[in-house]
Structure 1
Amino acid sequence: MLKDFFDGFQHNFLGFNYFLKNKNLWKFAFIPLLINISLLFLLVSLYVGYFDVVFTSISKPIIGWDIKDPSNFLWTILDSALWLVRGVIKIIFFILCLMIIFVLVYFISSIINSPFYEVLAEKVLIKHGLLSEEPFKFNLFLKSVLHSLKIEFSKIFLFVFVSLGLFVMSWVPIVGPLFSLLGILFTSWTFAMGLSTYPMVLKRASFNDVLGWSSQNKFRLIGFGLPAIIPFFGLLIMNFQVVGGTLIYIKATSNKRS
């Protein structure tokens, strides 16, 4: 278990080194990186610009917790405590919304950039002799894009459905921290599943096959996906992680064959 976990984490560095050494991959990474940065800048700018308006509109009951002209020392202390509570709630809301934006950008990026990530995975597979290079055909490309979108939306549905359940359970007293930890591990596994299964998407594997392979390699993928869940940083290293994820797939499938 731990061996697989650290092996998966190590593939982040292996993917980075592989990417740097194979300069023919660089041209396929520029556009996805540009899209990620643009999406991030756009959504964060909109969020920061409208944060006060959004927070004020949904927190009217909290804003109402205000004592007008406290008449004595105790009322002054209570008013200060309410001010502190409002501030803490605002900070938590701000951070939570930033996390939601990060996840939103991550999945939008996965959908838009999936053709580029598939090309990265394809080039790695070709270099390892696991896939033959074929001439471009528009009808095959269209089928590949549609299949890729189907897989991506299936991943998003799985993530949203399970994450909501874990988020609700994280508020349960005593066992809440356990579900919070499970949420982190599940997010790491889900992100890594998306980054390491492009070879399966290229082979038109079904989502059940993708899910099955990811479950069999869950500890390796959890270790691999940890950097991906670091807010905003994960968006900058997706190209390297697609390469590293493809190397994980090659290693896992070669071990299975042997």
Structure 2
Amino acid sequence: MVLSADSHQLFHGYHKAGKVTPFKHLETAMPAPALTGPQYLREGLKLVLSPGLRLFVLLPLSINVVLFCGLIYLAVHQFELWVDTFMPTLPHWLSFLSYILWPLFVVLVLLMVFFTFTVVANIISAPFNGFLSEKVEAVVRGVDDSPDFSWAELVAMVPRTLAREARKLGYMLPRMLGLFILSFIPVANIIAAPLWLLFGVWMMAIQYIDYPADNHKLGWNEMLGWLKSKRWQSLSFGGIVYVALLIPVVNLLMMPAAVAGATLFWVRERGADALPVTQARG
């Protein structure tokens, strides 16, 4: 894998006798400097575009594209049948509607794809993200620069990953409801907009940094406590991810890049310190 100078610094390992020794055993003696939020995302993007990890990005994206192509095909087929059935029942002078219905249908489909593609991509990629984070950490720590893909390993992670996603929703929805109510309270609603923004940035940090934390079996409350102990670093990373995910199309690549960047965050910000002693030494 060809890496930039910055990326070489991210690989926490050293070569000895032709073998790579994981850097995690040397962290105390040779602490790696932390990066800024934008740097974590940039290096994460470089990693997911590298040959060894590209498959873990292309697979969920391909599933999403195939799913939407199938849904669009079915929608076009059903709409065509509906038009063929409906138009003959109309008076002749309304036949011009056939030239209006199809453009309206195309616009509607495009709008639905625009607003739902990313949402569905997040749902589909959720099991892949934990898997991707695990493989990125293996690369970053110098354990394996080209991890193998395993369907069995991926499937085994699905129940735990989906349960963790449900826990995130349980954390997010009540707070969103509180902010929604605050938005309608006179005077108090002045602070609603900045609070919405701050909460969105915080949730981006939680959403993506939780993947490496969960891979290490760090409990939900412990993960939140660790993020709060690194509040400004977390908000810096969450802020750049929040902005990147607002860009249509680009956000499809930014999602896996954020997973990789969050994994770098976990390693470089010494996430192992948050683990139980026996687990951190493993």
Q: TM-score range by the shorter chain?
A: 0.5 to 0.7
Aligned identity (percent) is 26
- What's the counterpart of residue 55 of structure 2? 27
Question: Could you tell me which amino acid in structure 1 is paired with residue 135 of structure 2?
Answer: K
TM-score by length of 2: 0.57
Pairing 1:1-258 to 2, within 5 Å after superposition: 7-20=36-49, 22-35=50-63, 101=115, 105-106=118-119, 108-129=120-141, 138=152, 144-224=157-237, 225-230=241-246, 232=248, 233-253=250-270
Quote the Cα distance in structure 2 between the aligned partners of 1:200 and 1:130.
19
Quote the Cα distance in structure 2 between the aligned partners of 1:130 and 1:199.
16
Question: Could you tell me which amino acid in structure 2 is paired with residue 241 of structure 1?
Answer: A
Gaps of 5+ in 1: 1-5, 47-96
Contact in 2 for aligned 1:195/1:245 (Cα 8 Å): yes
Q: Extract structure 1 runs of 4+ deviating beyond 4 A.
A: 35-43, 130-138, 140-143, 254-257
Deviation track 1:35-78 (CA, whole Å, cap 9, x = no partner) reads 556778979xx9xxxxxxxxxxxxxxxxxxxxxxxxxxxxxxxx
Quote the Cα distance in structure 1 between the aligned partners of 2:43 and 2:206.
17
TM-score by length of 1: 0.61
The structure-2 alpha-carbon separation of the partners of 1:129 and 1:229, relative to structure 1 and needing over 3 Å to count, comes to: closer
Quote the Cα distance in structure 1 between the aligned partners of 2:234 and 2:264.
12
Bigger RCO of structures 1 and 2 (CA < 8 A, at least 6 apart) = 1
Task: Point out the more displaced range, 218-227 or 248-257.
Answer: 248-257
Quote the Cα distance in structure 2 between the aligned partners of 1:183 and 1:196.
20
Deviation for aligned residue 1:28: 0.8
Deviation for aligned residue 1:251: 1.1
Question: Could you tell me which amino acid in structure 2 is paired with residue 167 of structure 1?
Answer: F
State how many pairs are aligned.
197
Deviation for aligned residue 1:238: 0.3
SS in structure 2 at match of 1:171: coil
Quote the Cα distance in structure 1 between the aligned partners of 2:252 and 2:128.
14
Quote the Cα distance in structure 2 between the aligned partners of 1:37 and 1:227.
23
Gaps of 5+ in 2: 1-34, 76-110, 275-282
